[in-house]
Amino acid sequence: MLNKKGLIEHLKSSGVLKNSNIIEAFEKIDRADFVLEEHKLESYEDHPIPIGRGQTISQPTTVAFMLELLSVQKGDKVLDIGSGSGWTTALLSELVGSTGEVFGVERVSELVEFGSKNLAKYDFKNSKIIQAGDKLGLSNEVPFDKILVSAGADELPKELLTQLKTGGILVIPIGYSVWKIIKTTDEEIEEEEYKGFTFVPLIK
């Protein structure tokens, strides 16, 4: 059974964890702080773990892969859709630093509470998790430098592109692929597809 150091070494050796800032975030933000008590022994295993209401904390390989694609910088303003346990929100908060902001959005009220409680284990002044509204995203806080979506969509949600800055990056699962979307102009995007992933569904 892996410990935290063993998990990080596994992610590095498998080639999904490369960026030194992301490695440091994985070292500082302990996945064990974001799982239910009955699953603590699984905290450092490289697979999804149930967190209730049919939702999971994502597989570490998948989280590392998506964070590498997202290319978060210090000072970025980031939207984290489907924040769940709060783990990705915490990792993003570490990555943006004290000059950035992270907004976690979660549709399941019990998970808003669970994720917020977990996030509070760290002294971040720059992040919070809030209840998702009727519309996808967080239109009252636009624009965002980066948007991370941790639930699977059937197609690219156009409303998220409108919430992204020009030059910004959206990383989102669509079907069985993870897509990196770069908003090059108000009307144009660049797309990269990475196949072979499965997520809980995104419900608008």
Residues recognised as catalytic:
58
Q: End-to-end CA distance of the chain, in Å? A: 37
Take residue 144 and report the two structure tokens written for it: 């965002």
- 173 preceded by a cis bond (ω within 30 of 0): no
